[in-house]
């Protein structure tokens, strides 16, 4: 028999999400304290004791827990309260209006990730209402600052208040969205994420008069070669375990791409050719997969020159480089310098703006198996597949402390996979109310079964 959806939470989780969207936590500056206090208030009404942590005025996070009897490892339900900016002029609704219409909740954070916060809070309340006595601690943490790197949120809490937030298992954002293939859903579980290397390169030259270009050494031209080299570089393809599993799962369900993907699995070097073909059908998915196969480098900022008639002696550019599990920022810089050998390396300066290691959790755990089983209870012909996130989440702080972290925000894909991803940090971000009910139901079942 199929598991029942918890239809009774529909209004509660919808209203909670709408309220959270209306508390504008655009980061910078964040102002998450208001949202953290709001959550503490709604939780305390149902008998929870909440602890409030503020990194700096306005930068609040909230933590609460249901105590277990110490017979099972603890589980942390993690989310972040901040969102990225939204330009109201581009949206069809007020991005901070918490609008509920046409069966959706609209607004910045509807997917990333106030919906998950709302679902996790409702799960905690349901556990208490249903008098569930867990065998291990179930912790909820809604934190500040994820969108700017988490140093004022999860990163700080792990460093300064580890005992409040430490857990063997963590459920967070980064996966959970179904990839529908031939009427069946493959639910993703984020088991790995890329590392970040934000690199500034400064090209040096000799200044001169703009009317005699040959007498000077133009730093813009030097930087032009750097951008050309790095921006078009396709580094070696490397299949990490998570991506291998994901591609195998997709190939199993889709006969059309099966052949192409099995060639890719056997011969990764042919990867780009195959993805070019796939891109004609689904560009976003093909490019997502391409970025999972290798280190990527994207130029994102460039500055140079001060006046119309001065040839500049300096030009700087920033590169957003993302590295795979198994790689590290040090080796990435070595590879980048190798590429720039013939661009007068001595006239280039390198500066690391920010770097973080990639991270990966094993999929061979009882929690992973349980998530897959619960999904099958709701949808017998569904399956689960691990996914590598090309971006970063707060999970990396916890993986570093030895926790098993899964990005699992369960969502059915009601519109094409790529369309949903485009609204995240994009325009008209929204989530179907049905998905809020589905997500809450799946999460509740996972937590309740795992912890009792």
Tell me which residues touch Zn ion (CB under 5 A): 112-113, 173
- Give the nearest distance from C-beta 260 to Zn ion in angstroms: 31
Question: Is 188 within 8 Å of 179 (Cβ atoms)?
Answer: yes
Q: Which H helix or E strand runs over 285? A: helix 283-292
> Residue 100 has what DSSP assignment?
E
SS3 category, 386: strand
Nearer to Zn ion, 14 or 172 (CB): 172
Compute the chain's Rg from CA coordinates: 24
Sign of CA dihedral 355, 115, 440, 163: positive
Nearer to Zn ion, 74 or 409 (CB): 409
Nearer to Zn ion, 14 or 395 (CB): 395
Distance from C-alpha of 17 to C-alpha of 370, rounded to nearest angstrom:
27
Number of Cβ within 10 Å of residue 238's Cβ equals: 15
Question: Is 437 within 8 Å of 6 (Cβ atoms)?
Answer: yes
Nearer to Zn ion, 355 or 424 (CB): 424
Helices (H), 214-282: 219-231, 241-253, 255-266, 271-279
- Give the nearest distance from C-beta 186 to Zn ion in angstroms: 21
Nearer to Zn ion, 142 or 249 (CB): 142
Distances (CA, A) of 347 to 196, 275, 318, 344, 419: 25, 37, 16, 5, 43
Nearer to Zn ion, 173 or 217 (CB): 173
Question: Is 75 within 8 Å of 137 (Cβ atoms)?
Answer: yes
- Give the nearest distance from C-beta 319 to Zn ion in angstroms: 23
- Give the nearest distance from C-beta 73 to Zn ion in angstroms: 25
Question: Is 61 within 8 Å of 81 (Cβ atoms)?
Answer: yes
- Give the nearest distance from C-beta 82 to Zn ion in angstroms: 8
- Give the nearest distance from C-beta 112 to Zn ion in angstroms: 4
Backbone angles phi, psi at 26, to 5 degrees: -60, 130
Q: Which long-range contacts (C-beta less than 8 Å, at least 24 apart) are formed by 368-372?
A: 368/189, 368/191, 368/406, 370/446, 370/449, 370/450, 371/189, 371/406, 371/408, 371/446
- Give the nearest distance from C-beta 423 to Zn ion in angstroms: 13
- Give the nearest distance from C-beta 316 to Zn ion in angstroms: 29
Backbone angles phi, psi at 361, to 5 degrees: -110, 150
- Give the nearest distance from C-beta 113 to Zn ion in angstroms: 4
Nearer to Zn ion, 112 or 314 (CB): 112
Length of the chain: 452
Nearer to Zn ion, 108 or 412 (CB): 108
Nearer to Zn ion, 313 or 409 (CB): 409
- Give the nearest distance from C-beta 129 to Zn ion in angstroms: 28
Helices (H), 307-423: 329-339, 366-378, 395-400, 417-423
Nearer to Zn ion, 149 or 432 (CB): 149
- Give the nearest distance from C-beta 207 to Zn ion in angstroms: 44
Nearer to Zn ion, 113 or 289 (CB): 113
Question: Is 89 within 8 Å of 73 (Cβ atoms)?
Answer: no
Distances (CA, A) of 354 to 273, 318, 324: 33, 11, 16
Question: Is 222 within 8 Å of 339 (Cβ atoms)?
Answer: no
Residue nearest to Zn ion (CB): 112
């Amino acid at each position: 028999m199929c598991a029942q959806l918890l239809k009774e939470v529909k209004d509660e989780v919808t209203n909670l999400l709408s309220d959270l969207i209306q508390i504008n936590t655009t980061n910078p500056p964040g102002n998450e304290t208001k949202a953290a206090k709001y959550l503490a208030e709604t939780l305390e009404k149902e008998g929870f004791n909440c602890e409030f942590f503020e990194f700096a005025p306005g930068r609040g996070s909230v933590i609460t827990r249901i105590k277990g009897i110490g017979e099972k490892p603890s589980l942390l339900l993690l989310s972040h309260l901040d969102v990225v900016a939204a330009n109201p002029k581009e949206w069809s609704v007020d991005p901070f209006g918490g609008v509920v219409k046409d069966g959706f909740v609209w607004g910045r954070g509807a997917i990333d990730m106030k919906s998950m916060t709302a679902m996790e809070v409702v799960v905690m309340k349901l556990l208490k209402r249903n008098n569930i006595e867990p065998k291990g601690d179930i912790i909820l943490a809604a934190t500040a600052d994820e969108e700017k790197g988490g140093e004022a949120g999860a990163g700080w809490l792990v460093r300064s208040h580890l005992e409040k937030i430490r857990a063997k298992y963590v459920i967070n954002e980064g996966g959970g969205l179904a990839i529908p293939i031939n009427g069946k859903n493959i639910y993703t579980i984020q088991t790995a994420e890329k590392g970040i290397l934000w690199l500034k390169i400064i090209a040096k030259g000799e200044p001169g008069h703009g009317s005699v270009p040959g007498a000077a050494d133009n730093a813009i031209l030097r930087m032009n070669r750097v951008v050309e080299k790095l921006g078009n570089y396709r580094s070696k393809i490397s299949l990490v375990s998570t991506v291998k599993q994901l591609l195998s799962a997709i190939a199993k369900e889709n006969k059309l791409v099966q052949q192409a993907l099995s060639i890719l699995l056997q011969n990764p070097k042919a990867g780009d050719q195959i993805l070019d073909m796939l891109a004609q059908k689904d560009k976003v998915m093909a490019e997502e997969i391409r970025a999972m196969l290798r280190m990527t480098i994207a130029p994102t900022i460039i500055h140079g020159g001060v006046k119309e008639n001065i040839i500049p002696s300096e030009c700087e550019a920033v590169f957003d480089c993302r590295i795979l599990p198994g790689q590290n920022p040090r080796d990435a810089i070595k590879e980048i310098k190798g590429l720039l050998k013939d661009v007068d390396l001595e006239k280039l300066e390198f500066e690391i703006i920010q770097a973080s290691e990639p991270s990966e959790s094993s999929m061979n755990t009882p929690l992973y198996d349980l998530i897959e089983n619960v999904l099958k209870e709701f949808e017998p012909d569904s399956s689960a597949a691990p996914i590598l996130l090309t971006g970063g989440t707060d999970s990396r702080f916890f993986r570093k402390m030895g926790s098993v972290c899964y990005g699992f925000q369960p969502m059915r894909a009601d519109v094409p996979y790529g369309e949903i991803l485009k609204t995240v940090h994009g325009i008209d971000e929204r989530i179907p109310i049905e998905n809020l009910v589905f997500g809450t139901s799946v999460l509740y079942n996972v937590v309740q079964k795992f912890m009792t």
